Structure 1
């Protein structure tokens, strides 16, 4: 029974070929491509306004030097947002529940922000490892602690996204299993668990959107420290 609960996080395969790449590319098919017309349809207009609002919100902490990262952050946000939301549909697979994928997104972008700071302003970037006014005996310990906290950032990004989505999917499956099991035994309790399942589904939709936004927002804050 416990093994079947975690089967939903196993990457599906067809003839021995993993289908995770197709599940990652599918959200992009849902976004309407812009057309060479003066007047677009409502869906394209809504999409443009939403992307503009999200990009503006992400670029608030950054100066003009960081605005060149806007296409990367906006594309990553839309990918995570659509992937997380599509994973809530029945009989679907959520790629962002895989720690390997989240680390593959978090580590290169975190490393890029770090290398940007070391290239443009090395003294300021290295100065974050030692707070100003630190007593001399505490300097080695603080440098070690700050270096560890710096290196653990990509792991925290990947684990946070994986843990939140995995926990939500497990709770939904557990409560839905209890609802179906209790339907013939205790119908009243089954109705109660079904109502809890509906509320949990709404909560998971909010978590899917918030976690995608938090993932990209933290990357923008890391970039703010290095520009």
Structure 2
């Protein structure tokens, strides 16, 4: 039972080859391509409106040098949002439930923000490790705490995204199994469980969108500290 429950999170393979790259490529193929027509379609207009709104929401309070990251973070937001939502369809695989993939996205981007801070404002970046006016006895402890909090940021980014999506998928799998198991015993209880499943699915759709937004929002906050 345990193997069946968690097998949905294992990377699918075909002829011994992992299909995780295909699962990560499919979201990009679903977006509407720019056309040569003067008037955009409704889908293209909605997509442009969403990208403009998100970019303005994230980068409006940030400094001008951080605006160079707009294309990267907006593309990553759309990528994560697409993978999270497509993974809710039956018989699909969600790459963002893999901790290795999430850390592969979080660690390089976090490291890039840190390196940008050390390159552009070295003194200000070092000042984060030791606040002004710290007593002499607390200096080693505070430096250690700030160093740990700095290096735990990418781990928190990856684990937060993985844990939230994995927990939601497990609950959906368990409750959907309970619907078919309870139906021969009580149709009323099965209908009630189905209602809970529908509500949980709506909640998981919201979680998929929120977690993609939170991932980019935290990266933008780290970038704001270093620009």
What range describes the TM-score normalised by the shorter chain of this pair? over 0.9
Query: 1:162-201 alignment to 2 at 5 Å?
Result: 162-201=162-201
1:9 counterpart residue number = 9
Q: CA deviation at 1:39?
A: 1.3
Is the aligned partner of 1:33 residue 2:12? Answer: no
Determine the C-alpha separation between the residues in 2 that align with 1:61 and 1:112.
20
Q: CA deviation at 1:41?
A: 1.1
2:143 counterpart residue number = 143
Is the aligned partner of 1:102 residue 2:102? Answer: yes
Q: CA deviation at 1:42?
A: 1.1
Determine the C-alpha separation between the residues in 2 that align with 1:194 and 1:91.
19
1:205 counterpart residue number = 205
1:81 counterpart residue number = 81
Runs of 4+ in 1 over 6 A off after TM superposition: none
Number of residue-to-residue matches in the alignment: 227
Structure 2 alignment gaps of length 5 or more? none
3-state SS of the aligned residue for 2:100?
A: helix
After superposing the two structures, state which structure 1 stretch, 82-91 or 129-138, moved more: 129-138
Q: CA deviation at 1:158?
A: 0.2
- Is the CA contact (8 Å cut-off) linking 1:97 and 1:165 kept in structure 2? yes
- Is the CA contact (8 Å cut-off) linking 1:61 and 1:220 kept in structure 2? no
Determine the C-alpha separation between the residues in 2 that align with 1:60 and 1:96.
28
Q: CA deviation at 1:90?
A: 0.4
Q: CA deviation at 1:38?
A: 2.1
- Is the CA contact (8 Å cut-off) linking 1:61 and 1:221 kept in structure 2? no
Q: CA deviation at 1:84?
A: 0.1
- Is the CA contact (8 Å cut-off) linking 1:83 and 1:94 kept in structure 2? yes
Superposed CA deviations along residues 2-22 of structure 1, whole A, max 9, x for unmatched, are: 210101001000111100000
Q: CA deviation at 1:187?
A: 1.2
Q: CA deviation at 1:188?
A: 1.1
1:126 counterpart residue number = 126
Structure 1 alignment gaps of length 5 or more? none
Superposed CA deviations along residues 38-94 of structure 1, whole A, max 9, x for unmatched, are: 211111111101111111111123111100000000000000000000000000000
Q: CA deviation at 1:170?
A: 0.1
